[in-house]
């Protein structure tokens, strides 16, 4: 997808229940000008935000679960995204074990692009029900050559860092400072 005029499109990807919609909601609640009437688009959030003293329009899509594997919507996600946040829950090992397959699918679909992907271990606040350690998350991200962050969408922990981080990743790939 072409990145026009500093509009960056980010896809939230991952299994059901990992916290994608909650993460999207924290983005929607960030300060910054809301650039569209979002009344009919509860699954799309557009904000103009400042990252490293430069403004950017970030559009976050929470539409992944509406599609089936092999379906047109998944292909649409693949083509639309300038970057992908693969979210798993640190309390759900199954969601973690799905990550490599999803990432390979993304990369196979965009073979000529070095697409920015961040592996997001969400629900870091639920220490007692944790099934995936921080080290395991980091290690998998290293193996798959993508970035990694742990967040708590519930406590808004690291959520701003996540969305700023994805902007930086896209800027790096574009080769603009
Ligand atoms: P989605 O299916 O990936 O969109 O997941 P949701 O955003 O609907 O979240 C699923 C459930 O997990 C909801 O009950 C959320 O309130 C809860 N949840 C999401 N993120 C967190 C988090 O960071 N910490 C905790 N404790 N609960 C969370
Ligand atoms: Mg959801």
Q: What is the complex's ipTM, to 2 decimals?
A: 0.99
* Cα of 53 from ligand 2 centre, angstroms: 31
Question: Which atom of ligand 1 lies closest to the CA of 153?
Answer: 23
- For the cut 70, the answer to whether the pLDDT of residue 3 exceeds it is no
Q: Provide mean pLDDT across the span 136-162.
A: 97
Residues linked to residue 140 through DSSP beta bridges, in sequence order = none
The kind and range of the H/E element at 60 are strand 54-61
Q: State pLDDT tens for residues 42-56.
A: 789 999 999 999 999
pTM greater than 0.90 (yes/no)? yes
Q: Provide mean pLDDT across the span 21-28.
A: 93
Please count the residues of the chain.
Answer: 177
Q: Provide mean pLDDT across the span 139-151.
A: 98
Q: In the chain, where do the E strands start and end?
A: 7-14, 33-34, 44-51, 54-61, 83-89, 117-122, 147-150
Judge if the beta carbon of residue 91 lies within 6 A of ligand 1.
no
Residue of minimum CA distance from atom 11 in ligand 1: 17
Judge if the beta carbon of residue 81 lies within 6 A of ligand 1.
no
The CA distance from 132 to 81, in Å, is 27
DSSP reduced 3-state for 44: strand
Judge if the beta carbon of residue 165 lies within 6 A of ligand 1.
no
* Cα of 130 from ligand 1 centre, angstroms: 14
pLDDT for the residue numbered 172: 93
Q: State pLDDT tens for residues 57-96.
A: 999 999 999 998 888 999 999 999 999 999 999 999 999 9
* Parallel, antiparallel or unpaired: strands 147-150 and 117-122: parallel
Q: Provide mean pLDDT across the span 110-134.
A: 96
Residue of minimum CA distance from atom 9 in ligand 1: 19
* Parallel, antiparallel or unpaired: strands 44-51 and 83-89: unpaired
Q: pLDDT band for position 174 (50/70/90)?
A: confident
Token duo for residue 144? 């798959």
The kind and range of the H/E element at 49 are strand 44-51
* Cα of 154 from ligand 1 centre, angstroms: 7
The CA distance from 65 to 76, in Å, is 12
């Amino acid at each position: 997808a072409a990145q026009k005029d500093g509009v960056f499109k980010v896809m939230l990807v991952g299994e059901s229940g990992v916290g994608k919609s909650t993460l999207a909601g924290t983005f929607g609640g960030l300060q910054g000008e809301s650039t569209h009437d979002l009344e009919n688009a509860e699954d799309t959030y557009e904000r103009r935000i400042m990252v490293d003293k430069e403004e950017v329009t970030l559009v976050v899509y929470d539409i992944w679960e509406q599609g089936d594997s092999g379906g047109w919507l998944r292909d649409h996600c693949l083509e639309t995204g300038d970057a992908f946040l693969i979210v798993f829950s640190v309390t759900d090992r199954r969601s973690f074990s799905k990550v490599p397959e999803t990432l390979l699918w993304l990369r196979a679909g965009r073979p000529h692009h070095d697409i920015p992907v961040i592996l997001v271990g969400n629900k870091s606040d639920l220490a007692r029900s944790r099934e995936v350690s921080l080290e395991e998350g980091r290690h998998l991200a290293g193996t798959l050559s993508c970035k990694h962050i742990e967040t708590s969408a519930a406590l808004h922990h690291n959520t701003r860092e996540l969305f700023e981080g994805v902007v930086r990743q896209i800027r790096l790939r574009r080769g603009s400072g």
